[in-house]
Structure 1
Amino acid sequence: MPLADGQPFAVPAPLIDPFGRAITYVRVSVTDRCDFRCTYCMSEDMHFLPKADILSLEELERLCTAFIRLGTRRLRLTGGEPLVRRNIMELVRNLGRHVASGALEELTLTTNGSQLSRYADELRAAGVRRINVSLDTLDPARFQAITRWGRLAQVMEGLEAARQAGLAVKINAVALKGINDGELDEMLVWCGRQGFDLTLIEVMPLGDMDGNGGGAVREEQFLSLRDVRADLEKRWTLLDSNHRTGGPARYVTVQETGQRLGFITPLSHNFCESCNRVRVTCTGTLFMCLGQEDAADLRTPLRAETGDGALVQAIRDAITRKPQGHDFIIDRRRGPAVGRHMSVTGG
């Protein structure tokens, strides 16, 4: 089986972490920039990285291809907002050729939906078949409050464009106590009508959002999805499902709508035992775990030589340090478990 560049597909030693987990899923941030400023992801006055620190599209393609040669089967492009990156479709098309060749099982995207009306058809043509859209509320005023800069109508236009293009859509909603917890039933109804799956996500203790460590804000926002599921089951029939997408969500089928409902529970139910994922930032920093600070520099070997020997070795060395799990905890006194913003690591 050839790679997209026509070279024979050799099967190297797979990436296996110290706990026997095969690393087959890589999330790659293509930019730290975004046209929204969601309260749980960014501060309103973000300081973005200089251009020289950001990997070029060519470097991102080479990095992704190296992971594919090492057994990556699923590749997800993230941000910031990936579709605000200039000429991003060039990268998507080039990576899509790995899907066409069979070397890559799936190329997906996480987006806020703001640019989908422009890019949905191109994404489909490039080999993307499904996308995740971050959408925490259906109320326009609440949407603007959460995103600070966003317009719900623009996202809805993008979702319709994605549907018309034939992209499968999963809605990702961060459950925020006192903010959107009163409209989860409405979101289930709406997703059922639209034919979208819905995944609820517990707010993660990342980033200094209040200028005083972030712990107070995180504690106030946190909503246990264990409690959410128990409440939803009073009104909905939730049937356990074996459906998996490669990520951390555990799914049920909502009998009344026929759509899936996922739960991502980094705090109330740790999902680390089956983790097959790593994240790469737009600067080429590899984080082996979202909830840990240990990281590996891939930009230096990427830029040091035209061959991939040093890059591959850096990746392999990093995987040997992948921890068993994260240490997420929300504590008002300690502040966030990890000080970096979610947008820095990649969504």
Structure 2
Amino acid sequence: MTEIKDSFNRTFKTLRVSLLNTCNLACVYCCFGNEDSKENYRSGKNQALQTDELLKLIAKLHERLDLSVVRLTGGEPLLYKELPELVRGIRNLGINNLKLTTNGLLLEKMAPALQDAGITSINVSLDAIDPEVYHLMSRRHDLSRTLRGIEAAQRLGIEVKINSVVMKGLNDSQILPLLKYAFERSIRIRFLEIMAMGHLHDTADQHFFSQEEILARIDTNYPAFPLPRKRSSTSNYWQTRDGNIFGIVANESEPFCSDCNRLRLDAYGNIYGCLSSNNPISILETESQNLDSSLREALAQKQSIKFTGSTLSMLHIGG
């Protein structure tokens, strides 16, 4: 069967699945509005598709694309009612590189079940190590729960990584403390430039903190040298003199669109070829033999050089 590619030789090998569009945090880069709207982010546990429906869609995509990686996101994926069953189902499809991105609030409780089901790696979103800054970013006083979740996963031998969105004037003071926390625990940490998504589509510049600024801050305590970038990687990596490695996702400073291999599936059975697209492509009723046209349409959504932003919320598409 002919591989689906575009003029940049890009194809889909990584599938990111947004399991639901609710979350138990209300982070400032994802949620905007009054207290009522923030509570709406937290209160529901809406999942539009049942586990068997999701598995059928993932199986259909895997059969055509021979996926290398599946990453489960949200919203907050640990709110998904049948998460361990879903993970087992995906592994039964022959996909062994199965990852998850979470805010960590429920990780302490769920880590054993996730390990047993077959999760191989967990990325924890942690934007501050100071309790007050954590509250400023997430609008909840739950830092200790997230840290306990990280510790629980590490004790079980699950690979844990940390993602930290950096926003100027809000949490850029946390870069060095977060590095120290990660290095002391042998955790790979990545700092993310803020993306022009959702309510920040037209205002992200106000809090933008560039890769250059992040590196300058790090260099004061941890001089480092760059490592070669791997194809389709979203991150640039550096290594300190002590051998510690950290990354930066510089979607604005050094775009990685030209070799992106990611396909996104939302909680309603729609696929997206790029975060910059607001146009969902439903595959719920698409027969396997007709899937190619939908995948080519998704591939055409990819940007040639640089991510242009989208009004689509990270809550819906999972980053």
- How high is the TM-score relative to the length of structure 1? 0.83
1:274-285 aligned within 5 A: 274-285=259-270
| AA at the equivalent of 1:170 | K
Q: Give a deviation string over 1:209-243, Cα, whole Å, max 9, x none.
A: 6xxxx634x22211111222133224323132247
Instruction: Please tell me the root mean square deviation across aligned C-alpha atoms, in Å.
Output: 2.5
> Cα 1:247–1:230, aligned 2, differ >3 Å: closer, same or farther?
same
Partner in structure 1 of residue 22 of structure 2: 33
Partner in structure 2 of residue 73 of structure 1: 68
Which stretch of structure 1 is more off in the superposition, 56-65 or 239-248? Answer: 239-248
Q: Give a deviation string over 1:83-105, Cα, whole Å, max 9, x none.
A: 1011221101111234xxxx324
Partner in structure 2 of residue 233 of structure 1: 219
Partner in structure 2 of residue 95 of structure 1: 90
- How high is the TM-score relative to the length of structure 2? 0.89
Partner in structure 1 of residue 57 of structure 2: 63
Check whether the contact 2:137–2:171 (CA below 8 A) recurs between aligned residues: no
Partner in structure 2 of residue 223 of structure 1: 209
What's the offset of the Cα at 1:208? Answer: 1.9
Cα distance in 1 between the residues matched to 2:23 and 2:303: 31
Q: 1:341 aligns with which of 308, 313, 317?
A: 313
Q: 1:309 aligns with which of 286, 289, 313?
A: 289
Check whether the contact 2:274–2:298 (CA below 8 A) recurs between aligned residues: no
User: Does residue 260 in structure 1 map to residue 249 in structure 2?
Assistant: no
| AA at the equivalent of 1:293 | N
Q: 2:48 aligns with which of 49, 54, 60?
A: 54
What's the offset of the Cα at 1:294? Answer: 3.6
Cα distance in 1 between the residues matched to 2:255 and 2:148: 35
* Count of residue correspondences: 313
What's the offset of the Cα at 1:130? Answer: 1.1
Cα distance in 1 between the residues matched to 2:231 and 2:183: 19
Partner in structure 2 of residue 251 of structure 1: 237
Check whether the contact 2:30–2:199 (CA below 8 A) recurs between aligned residues: no
Q: 1:167 aligns with which of 136, 158, 178?
A: 158
| AA at the equivalent of 1:68 | H
Q: Give a deviation string over 1:299-339, Cα, whole Å, max 9, x none.
A: 243xxxxx6334x335433245233337546xxxxxxx321
Check whether the contact 1:244–1:251 (CA below 8 A) recurs between aligned residues: no
User: Does residue 288 in structure 1 map to residue 273 in structure 2?
Assistant: yes
Cα distance in 2 between the residues matched to 1:245 and 1:104: 21
Matched residue of 2:276: which SS? coil
> Cα 1:107–1:244, aligned 2, differ >3 Å: closer, same or farther?
farther
User: Does residue 178 in structure 1 map to residue 169 in structure 2?
Assistant: yes
Partner in structure 2 of residue 143 of structure 1: 134
Check whether the contact 2:8–2:258 (CA below 8 A) recurs between aligned residues: no
| AA at the equivalent of 1:22 | T
Q: 1:194 aligns with which of 169, 177, 185?
A: 185
| AA at the equivalent of 2:244 | Q
Matched residue of 2:275: which SS? coil
| AA at the equivalent of 1:186 | P
Cα distance in 2 between the residues matched to 1:183 and 1:125: 34
> Cα 1:191–1:52, aligned 2, differ >3 Å: closer, same or farther?
closer
Cα distance in 2 between the residues matched to 1:89 and 1:295: 27
Check whether the contact 1:16–1:319 (CA below 8 A) recurs between aligned residues: no
| AA at the equivalent of 1:86 | K
Check whether the contact 2:14–2:67 (CA below 8 A) recurs between aligned residues: yes
Matched residue of 1:117: which SS? helix
Cα distance in 1 between the residues matched to 2:239 and 2:303: 30
Matched residue of 1:32: which SS? coil
User: Does residue 269 in structure 1 map to residue 243 in structure 2?
Assistant: no
| AA at the equivalent of 2:210 | S
> Cα 1:239–1:188, aligned 2, differ >3 Å: closer, same or farther?
same
Q: Percent identity?
A: 29
Unaligned runs of 5+ in 2: none
> Cα 1:316–1:207, aligned 2, differ >3 Å: closer, same or farther?
closer
Cα distance in 1 between the residues matched to 2:132 and 2:231: 32
Cα distance in 1 between the residues matched to 2:151 and 2:46: 36
What's the offset of the Cα at 1:52? Answer: 9.2
What's the offset of the Cα at 1:51? Answer: 9.0
Cα distance in 2 between the residues matched to 1:219 and 1:235: 27
Check whether the contact 2:273–2:299 (CA below 8 A) recurs between aligned residues: no
Check whether the contact 1:173–1:200 (CA below 8 A) recurs between aligned residues: yes
Q: 1:154 aligns with which of 145, 156, 177?
A: 145
